[in-house]
Structure 1
């Protein structure tokens, strides 16, 4: 545990020790070796071609409460930002290694999964028992299908799933280290919603956490096996709104902070890659401050700040040596219908959510984020090359 690190440890060694402690205490996912082999082959292929490659992390991370996990803590992320960004990176010519939460949104299929309509609603029965897209959806579906097939058939997209916070960090470290041969052509776009807290394995229950004391009573009884089940022992039923015996247990969860490995990523795992992180807040008064603090603390290359209520409408780029840059999708500011929508760009403050139109933006903000990231990546590559005398 981190508390075991001696207090006299020099600051420059703390990050390495925290890394050693965390990864030694939290076992890797069972499929890590297979994922590493796939990622190594994918990265080597594009490195040999001199192509830019981006690692996009996406979706939330679970925090298991039991080793045989029944209960876990989660966050709201469905992976929209990551999945959408991956498509625009592909359009920009990047190879995309997509490290995503299992069952979160994926590039291309996102257009039809997690939707209000069931996927089957987009289909109908065609001639001779065939299955075809509905006429009104066929053109868009064909367009999305062609893009997906092109990305997969040309080996430009690799999908690697994870589930828990521990899985994610093991996968991230392994893939980031594999990206070293790419040098500055490697881009790490960390859009996953990473948990800030976790339960260390040595404090984790082996089995499902029980909601009553019935099991403890059963175990303590030396003749329990020979006795019939009593009314008290039947107080398990979660669907009984008024049990004869009231519930007798509450659940207190003692969480530890997840070590911040962004410093390790910058200085050790992928020291030449350009690193982009995200900062999500709900308080507009602290958004830019928190983004700037993260940038100064970890010394990476770009923080993209966004507010929960306006994240699909605007983001702010915070990067070293540059003024804060707000990126917004076009929207009407006057309620008019005849004039084209305009982006409110004259302010360097977060937009008031009340001023935004109802519903979704007509333009995906990732269509503007990714070209801006690409421009910064181009400048970064040039700077690194110049310093190396190339």
Structure 2
């Protein structure tokens, strides 16, 4: 597989490089109304991106390139931001983990339900709460969030959908200025195949070994920070497999894109250790063994740190 470093591909217009989803304007309007409503009530609004992006190899897609992301970090972070008083727009990959329900991943729901007859012709469904730990507490939290209208979910599947919806979100939140936070936790592909170079039909294995030439995905962080939402508080994530280059790459991202923070983490230790890097500081967040045994999550510490930094950022703008 070869990747082209064509500069035009890296800086080209989204509308030229990627087909926009048909519902993008409808979603933009919904996000803008959501943001303005909650900002008027004094709330901060965070746009969380979550999950991986799918890159098709054929126009009539049978095969695609994907990554390991399940959306765990984004889904758990959404819960903690809600607990800190934020309203949340949750831009997530279709079928990735979702706030609150993520706690029951891997549990067969039907194994937790029984059907009981209370009288002839009438049956009720009973939940076995021993098989759904803390379900009452979790359901209470979810229903409180839902009744207050604090969570706006927006789905994407492909890389193209993600890029257009992120741009729409940035434009939608620009009207609330520094009250907007972008928490870009999605695992976004760095490479793609332009539609003009993609085969229409399924690639045939009978044609022999497959060679793929891919282009670099446009770096959408730069226009987001500079043009689309210039007053917002923006956090990106940097995942590496080599710890020796982690901080160097995080610093490089900050210097290149001029945003406020990078959450830097290494693949093997990402659930228990991150470094939050800003222009003037770096802070290590570590999950102790005792905390992990009590089901404390590193995302709780990340969100606490960043929500505090966001408040300071807003106060400096006043």
TM norm structure 1: 0.76
Aligned equivalents of 1:136, 1:48: Cα separation in 2: 42
Deviations 1:154-199 (A, max 9, x none): 1100000001111101000011011111111100000000000000
Determine if contact 2:112/2:129 at 8 Å carries over to the other structure: no
Deviation at 1:361, TM superposition (A): 7.4
1:159–1:135 Cα change, 3 Å:
closer
Determine if contact 1:61/1:193 at 8 Å carries over to the other structure: yes
1:293–1:178 Cα change, 3 Å:
same
- Map of 1:151 onto structure 2: 145
CA RMSD, Structure 1 to Structure 2 (Å): 2.1
Q: Does 1:70 align with 2:62?
A: yes
Number of corresponding residues:
311
1:42-121 matches, cutoff 5 A: 42-113=34-105, 115=106, 117-121=107-111
Consecutive unaligned residues of structure 1, counting only runs of 5 or more, are 6-13, 214-248, 332-340, 343-356, 386-390
Q: Secondary structure at the match of 1:255?
A: strand
Aligned equivalents of 2:114, 2:63: Cα separation in 1: 39
- Map of 1:182 onto structure 2: 176
- Map of 2:158 onto structure 1: 164
Q: Does 1:274 align with 2:266?
A: no
Deviation at 1:137, TM superposition (A): 4.2
Deviation at 1:250, TM superposition (A): 1.3
Q: Secondary structure at the match of 2:297?
A: coil
Deviation at 1:35, TM superposition (A): 1.6
- Map of 1:239 onto structure 2: none
Q: Secondary structure at the match of 2:275?
A: strand
Deviation at 1:53, TM superposition (A): 0.2
Determine if contact 2:80/2:303 at 8 Å carries over to the other structure: yes
1:3–1:282 Cα change, 3 Å:
closer
Aligned equivalents of 2:111, 2:47: Cα separation in 1: 33
Deviation at 1:209, TM superposition (A): 1.3
Q: Does 1:330 align with 2:288?
A: yes
1:121–1:273 Cα change, 3 Å:
same
Q: Secondary structure at the match of 2:309?
A: helix
Deviation at 1:23, TM superposition (A): 2.4
Consecutive unaligned residues of structure 2, counting only runs of 5 or more, are none
Aligned equivalents of 1:127, 1:135: Cα separation in 2: 19
Determine if contact 2:31/2:173 at 8 Å carries over to the other structure: no
Larger relative contact order (C-alpha < 8 A, sep ≥ 6)? 2
1:209-228 matches, cutoff 5 A: 209-213=203-207
Determine if contact 1:57/1:190 at 8 Å carries over to the other structure: yes
Deviation at 1:24, TM superposition (A): 1.8
Determine if contact 2:179/2:314 at 8 Å carries over to the other structure: yes
Determine if contact 2:174/2:231 at 8 Å carries over to the other structure: yes
